Amino acid sequence: MNTAELGDRILNGDRRALARAITLVESGRSDHRSQASDLLAHVGKSGRQSLRVGLSGTPGVGKSTFIESFGMMLTAQGLRVAVLAVDPSSARSGGSILGDKTRMERLSRDRNAFIRPSPSQTHLGGVARRTREAIALCEAAGFDVVLIETVGVGQSETVVSEMSDLFLLLLAPAGGDELQGVKRGIMEMADMILVNKADGDLKATATRTCADYAGALRLLRKRPQDPEGFPKAMTVSAVEEHGLEEAWGQMQSLSQSRRDSGYWNANRSAQAQYWFEQEVRAALLARLATSQARSEMERLGEEVRKGNLSPSAAADTMLDTLVAG
């Protein structure tokens, strides 16, 4: 199948074609990269937009259960939902946070849902590019909502928030001391904090935790583009399926307000600019990652460590090598 055919099938909403196309954009082979570029250019003309929802939460907050319940609620409304993952640990473990589809058994069988595990990549930059391309393919395939899941570690929240229209932080009920455990930078990214497990014995704790985070959010600078009350903290129960429709209502209200104000488009433009700059920088630095460059870096590094060459002189030599190579 050529890329035009594959592209047309995607535009018709064919999930198999979509899965195949994502495999293509995940490939590092240069012929695959070139086909992927053609494909993305082909489907990019559709002009379709989904709501891109970033979702971060550390293991144990009930993220899979939330995604399943939330996704089922959306598909029950006739919406089509895609779930992608950015997993910074997959490079090391070879595993994937969405690798086990049985985690979301009901959703994975739903005709209106599409679940894609995180690719095993060597670095977060590679994962980011492929995830953005997978999002573009899902949008072209007509998905209404694309959920981009990540675990709460390191740089991955920044990556996901820079490719999302809305960013959600899923938290578990906890004592007041643990509020400090959420880094200020992560709090500042969140459009909504959802305190999960507001059920059974944990219900009261969840309500208290939610109030604590609502208080913390009020201390952050108000975003001029957003209506009063955002960023917002709410309780949900993924297990009992409580609060999900309310959360979805708030997400719709926030995104409508951002569309009306023009922020939505401005934000997508700024994100595109961000990724353009990131990719240029990453591609320049990737010249250091070839085996030839690495062995030259190692050779020069040894001279530097021994004091035979100054860091600057060695760097000049390395740069000459890169230009010649």
Binding site for a second copy (CB under 8 A): 37, 40-41, 44, 129, 132-133, 136, 268-270, 272-281, 283-285, 287-288, 297, 300-301, 304-307, 310-316, 318-319, 322
Question: Least distance from C-beta 267 to a second copy, angstroms?
Answer: 11
CB of 58 to a second copy, least distance (A): 21
CB of 224 to a second copy, least distance (A): 20
Nearer to a second copy, 116 or 132 (CB): 132
CA atoms within 13 A on the CB side of 75: 21
Cβ-based nearer residue to a second copy, 122 or 310: 310
Is 317 in contact with 300 (CB distance < 8 Å)? yes
Nearest distance, CB of residue 26 and a second copy, angstroms: 13
List alpha helices for 12-117, DSSP H.
Answer: 15-26, 30-44, 63-76, 90-93, 105-109
Q: Which residues pair with 145 in a beta bridge?
A: 51, 81
Query: Alpha-carbon distance 219 to 224, whole Å?
Result: 15
Torsion on CA atoms 42, 48, 50, 52, rounded to nearest 10: 50
Distance of CA 167 to the CA centre of its chain: 9
* Nearer to a second copy among residue 119 and residue 243 (C-beta): 119
Q: How deeply is 70 buried, as exposed, middle or buried, from its count of CB atoms within 10 A (0-12, 13-18, 19+)? A: buried
**Cβ nearer to a second copy, comparing 109 with 281:** 281
| Smallest separation, CB 36 to a second copy (Å) | 9
Using CA atoms, how far apart are residues 136 and 146, in angstroms rounded to an integer?
Answer: 10
State which residue, 4 or 283, has the beta carbon closest to a second copy: 283
